[in-house]
Amino acid sequence: MTEDLITKIDGQAGYLTLNRPKAIHALNHEMCAAMIDALVKWRGDDAVQAVMIDHSEGRGFCAGGDIRMLAQSGALEGAEKGREAREFFYTEYQLNHLLFEYDKPVVAFMDGITMGGGVGISQPAKYRVATENTRFAMPETGIGLFPDVGGGWFLPRLEGRVGQFLALTGARLDGAECLSLGLATHYLPSDKLDEAKQRIAKNPDRIAGILGDLSVTPPPARIEANIDKINRHFASDKYEEILASLEKDDSDWAAKERDTLGTKSPQTCKVALRQLAEGALMPNFAAQMKQEYAIGARVVEMHDFIEGVRALIIDKDNEPKWSPATPEEMTNDMLDAIFTPLLQDKEWKPL
């Protein structure tokens, strides 16, 4: 076990409480493994009728994964190059899949920052609770990564082209927007969360009613005013066509989104678009995770990820030097190499 995760049973519910506040509860390998162990144990325990995922103190539910470790691993040479990163992805994706297939109701409380790996452990849950503090995003293209942890499954199933917009721009959504898009199932005031948890622990067969009873009407969802623009400008699965569409629009909104995309890795923007296009057609979630593991195993060793982490997280100069530097230089052959399935003895498998 690890002190970065608190597991307990209270009433008829099992709690998975992320406990790494100094890192905004970003996931590490030990946390993912401990969550798997608890979920597997509770699956056969009749005393546990529901599972709740939340966080201890701090301003975020979960800010993502251990990005520094991933980049350091990918930058190594020889047999160790990328090994620790692949081990983390393998276990994290097994956790994502276990939650997706779990046969007892899971409630995720997305109170505060919910990004990357935090999305991966909340979106598979049957009940996803947003609050006025929720800040939801998949910001991976800004560090040369891609929207993994099942992003290729969840994002293309959102309304219109919103998933592609979120994947490319890394736009942050508030709790009202999450509810509007279906990323959250309920919107509660943060000061009602403790009451919700206590009531669910006592009556796990009444989760929907309890959350419905404590829900409030959220403020207007800002993204709703932009969905027509998003659907028009992000309609293509070809990145160059999205950029060209935004260029032709002289509105402030289009200029802002075009400027945002100009800061992202062309490589991983193209990876994300293909990932979502293929993810929309995946037969099941396990197939999605197998593909994302193959992509991740390669991208984590590539220049853009290591450079993106250096520029945004380590040195914080916010001036990554992407390579390829333009979308046009990122060829289909290069994309094909990233998406090639791994050999059978190297590929990801569910628990």
> Would the CA dihedral through 249, 253, 256, 257 be positive or negative?
negative
What is the enclosing helix (H) or strand (E) of 9?
A: strand 5-10
CA 312 from chain center: how many Å? 18
In this structure, are strands 127-130 and 106-110 parallel, antiparallel, or unpaired?
A: parallel
Per annotation, catalytic residue among 65, 120, 142, 175 = 65
Half-sphere exposure of 52 (CA within 13 A, CB side): 29
Could you give the CA distance from residue 285 to residue 1 in angstroms, rounded to a whole number?
28
Per annotation, catalytic residue among 148, 174, 301, 307 = 148
DSSP character for 65?
B
Could you give the CA distance from residue 7 to residue 19 in angstroms, rounded to a whole number?
10
Residue linked to tokens 């040369």: 144
CA 102 from chain center: how many Å? 18
Residue linked to tokens 């279906």: 182
> Would the CA dihedral through 147, 149, 153, 159 be positive or negative?
negative
Nearby residues of 87 by Cβ (< 8 Å), 6 or more positions away:
29
Could you give the CA distance from residue 175 to residue 181 in angstroms, rounded to a whole number?
10
**Beta bridge partners of residue 13, listed in sequence order:** 10, 50
Could you give the CA distance from residue 177 to residue 183 in angstroms, rounded to a whole number?
8
Active site residue 148: yes
Active site residue 140: yes
Q: How big is the chain by its Cα radius of gyration, in Å?
A: 20
Per annotation, catalytic residue among 54, 66, 84, 140 = 140
Terminus-to-terminus CA distance in the chain, angstroms? 19
Per annotation, catalytic residue among 82, 116, 117, 142 = 117
Nearby residues of 73 by Cβ (< 8 Å), 6 or more positions away:
80, 81, 82, 83, 84, 85, 300
* Residues with active-site annotation: 65, 117, 140, 148
